[in-house]
Structure 1
Amino acid sequence: MNVDLFDFHLPPDRIALRPAVPRDAARMLVVGAHGRHDALVRDLPGELRAGDLLVFNDTRVIPARLEGRRGDARIGATLHKREGPRRWRAFIRNARRLRDGDRIEFGHDVAAVASDRAEDGSLALDFLGDEPVELLLGRAGVMPLPPYIAARRPTDARDADDYQTMFADRPGAVAAPTAALHFTPDLMRRLGETGVGHAMLTLHVGAGTFLPVKAEDTDAHRMHAEWGRIDAGAADRLNAARAGGGRVIAVGTTSLRLLESACGEDGRVRPFEGDTTIFITPGHRFRAADGLLTNFHLPRSTLFMLVSALMGRERMHDAYAHAIADGYRFYSYGDACLLLPKS
């Protein structure tokens, strides 16, 4: 499909620079098969029913953005995907100043050697020394805010908490699964009282999630690989929920993509561990999930293509036009959208 079909105009003042306080005070646009209505995230228990199962991504964002030098050249690095105990694939600012074997000094006694330039322009960084890389990043790294936020304000101490979900447990993501940022312990308690359950999976979100689609046709776009895991217990809970008549509602596109990666033609989710490069566009037959809670996404992005696949492109353009006109806040720190394709 032509990528232009997924374009729309978003006024810059609709981009949220801070999350709602409290988190579940964010607005929520509910889009169903036959209409839409405005609500708040804290209204979610009333939009779901007993037996439904929410699926959260328990990845934890690491301080994956680094600023350093190679000689006199300033080098910026955003880690993307772990490739070994001390090796990370990274997107590099000012990469033209680097050659294989160059050493980058990131300060705080943290250094890495660059090599293995890929077609997408990324480089491998091998961190020097014996300390765990996690400790090195804790000294030299900062929270990797999305570029549409980082370009408008500096990262600060608040972001260390704001850009982490309440479920964050397994370090490895370089971008937050932002739909889950809206959840609070009180909201989870009320969902439980309503009879809505939950399950956990892990998908370590990579920096590729922010890259624009440069191809003119979706068939020419290549997704970056991201590592994910669904254990046997979670798979059993997912399959049991649907067998009992409940709906599986993915919280975030990361959860949905991993569910679809792990689901067979029979609609059953299998345990999964490994990389996924799934690219969901209109025409995809969803097998694992019955709905999605997500934020509002960038024009021409793979994520807007995903929600268009779930709900229909025209319906999503109409929903986004309403959200823009009605003052909804967009992107990572913005408001939510509950998508229920079946009545």
Structure 2
Amino acid sequence: MKVDSFDYELPHEAIAQEPIEPRDASKLMVIDRQNNKREHRIFRELGDYLQPGDLLVLNRTRVIPARLYGTKSGTETAVEMVLLTPKGNDQWEVLVRPGRRLKPGTTVEFGEQLKAEILDSTAFGGRLVRFYYQGNFEEILDELGQMPLPPYIERPLQKEEAERYQTVYSQEKGSAAAPTAGLHFTPQLLEKLQEKGVEIATVLLHVGLGTFRPVQVEEIEDHQMHAEFYQIDEQAVQAIKKARQEGRRVIAVGTTVVRTLESVATFEGEIKATSGWTNIFIYPGYQFKVIDGLITNFHLPRSTLLMLVSAFTDRDTIIAAYEEALEKKYRFFSFGDAMMIL
């Protein structure tokens, strides 16, 4: 299957540059897969499409201030580093810029509190580094780091705005990017949905390098996903099993939840409490085992996220929906509007 099949024209002005306030004021496109119908609503009206007993599954990951700015030791060369995956013993897999100047043995300084030694190159142009510091690494990162917004967002968030790139239900630190479908929820909306009888469960997937990687091969089957850490506990497993046994819908909030659930499911759709690393790549032709619905944002052209969403419906339906979203001035990508597919 050709990557070009998942391309579309996107004007720059359609890319959301800042979050909308309040969170649940974003637009919501609702797609009925059975009838191929589309409706246009506001996200706070989500409950009109959910039924008592529906199970919403959320990703409770929390974004770390993973973007650091420093200088190459002994020079004035500016360095940007984005932390991606902890490897233990103060080692991390990171993205660096400029990569050509950061060979193994190079040291990067981030003020007096923090240094990083380049140990090795990794797949996809990354680096393995070891950090040196005194004190608490998380506290130093909170002080020095910035939210790792995607490159298409041109203005960095100020420290006081950092929570806007977190979901209101985020708990466990570890992501290099937000699970953006969840950014639309407010505590009040979640409470309203629960009062209606909608149930909520959480899983964990720390969003990593795959979010930043474009598909650079011609045939999508040749693309290799980067592994991300996931965890699903017994409480979530039992909630999902019970919903499925009783014929209630399981609705994933975001592609990260989809990848977690589909990673742990057997061919028959059975799941168990577990943790590990997943590099599952979902594209059209994939047979879903767990989910009945999906809440997601509008994704980049030629991206694995667009391919996943197309797999849940079909490519033509999604491309047509994206074209209509552009006509109706929807906002795209991380701080943009939402889509629900049922």
Which category describes the TM-score, using the shorter chain as reference length? Answer: over 0.9
Q: Distance in 1 between matches of 2:134 and 2:232?
A: 31
Q: What secondary structure does 1:234 align onto?
A: helix
The yes-or-no answer on 1:93 pairing with 2:97 is yes
CA distance in 1, matches of 2:230, 2:321: 30
Structure 1 match to 2:185: 183
Contact 2:298 2:339 in 1 (8 A): yes
| CA deviation after TM superposition for structure 1 residue 79, in Å | 1.1
1:207 to 195, 206, 209: 209
Instruction: Verify: 1:337 aligned to 2:327, yes or no.
Output: no
Checking the alignment, whether the CA contact within 8 Å between 2:147 and 2:156 is kept in structure 1 is no
What CA deviation, in whole Å up to 9, does each residue of 1:43-72 have, x standing for no partner?
Answer: 111101111100000001000001111122
Q: C-alpha offsets along residues 142-166 of structure 1, whole Å, 9 cap, x if unaligned?
A: 11111100xx223323530110110
The answer to whether the Cα contact below 8 Å between 1:79 and 1:207 also exists between their aligned partners in 2 is: no
Which amino acid in structure 1 is aligned with residue 82 of structure 2?
Answer: T
1:148 aligns with 2:149: no
Q: TM-score, structure 2 length as denominator? A: 0.96
SS in 1 for 2:288: coil
SS at match of 1:318: helix
Q: Is the 8 A contact 1:60 1:164 kept in 2?
A: yes
Could you tell me the TM-score, scaled by structure 1's length? 0.96
| Cα deviation code 1:12-46 (max 9, x no counterpart) | 11111112211111110001111111011111111
SS of the residue 1:286 aligns to? coil
What is the match of residue 79 of structure 1?
A: 83
Deviations 1:155-196 (CA, angstroms, capped at 9, x unpaired): 323530110110111000010001111001111111012111
Match of 1:265 among 259, 264, 267: 267
Equivalent AA in structure 2 for residue 105 of structure 1:
E
How many equivalent residue pairs? 338
Task: Assess if the C-alpha contact under 8 Å between 1:24 and 1:42 holds in 2.
Answer: yes
Shift in Å at residue 108 of structure 1? 4.6
For 1:104, which of 102, 105, 108 is the aligned residue?
108
Number of the residue aligned with 1:6: 6
The one-letter code sitting in structure 1 at the alignment partner of 2:277 is D
* Pairing 1:124–2:124 present: no
Amino acid at match of 1:252: G
* Change beyond 3 A, Cα 1:119–1:171: closer
Does the 8 Å contact 2:103/2:120 carry over to 1? no
Residue equivalent to 2:143:
139
Distance 2:205 2:157 in 1: 24
Equivalent of 2:307 in 300, 305, 308: 305
In the alignment, the residues of structure 1 paired with residue 275 and residue 110 of structure 2 have an alpha-carbon distance, to the nearest angstrom, of 32
> Which string of whole-angstrom CA distances, capped at 9 and with x for unpartnered residues, describes residues 81-105 of structure 1?
1111411100111111112121100
Shift of 1:211: 1.5
Deviations 1:246-295 (A, max 9, x none): 10000010011001001111212211201000000000000011110000
Identity %: 46
User: For 1:279, what is the secondary structure of its paired residue?
Assistant: coil
Confirm whether residue 40 of structure 1 aligns to residue 42 of structure 2: yes
Amino acid at match of 1:126: R
Instruction: Indicate if the aligned counterparts of 1:297 and 1:331 stay in contact, CA closer than 8 A.
Output: yes
Partner of 1:26: 26
In structure 1, distance between residues paired with 2:161 and 2:247: 39
Change (3 A) 1:203 1:85: farther
Query: Is the contact made by 2:90 and 2:131 (CA closer than 8 Å) also made in structure 1?
Result: yes
Give the secondary structure class of the aligned counterpart of 2:124.
coil
Any gaps of 5 or more consecutive residues in structure 1?
A: none
Deviation at 1:233, TM superposition (A): 1.2
Change in 2 beyond 3 A, CA 1:245/1:227: same
Aligned partners of 1:298 and 1:159: how far apart in 2?
24
2:61 counterpart letter in structure 1: T
> Deviations 1:189-245 (Å, cap 9, x if unpaired)?
110121110101111101331221111111111111100100111111111111112
CA distance in structure 2 between the aligned counterparts of 1:282 and 1:13, rounded to whole angstroms: 29
Partner AA of 2:254 in structure 1: G
Residue identity matched to 1:138: D
Equivalent residue for 1:68?
70
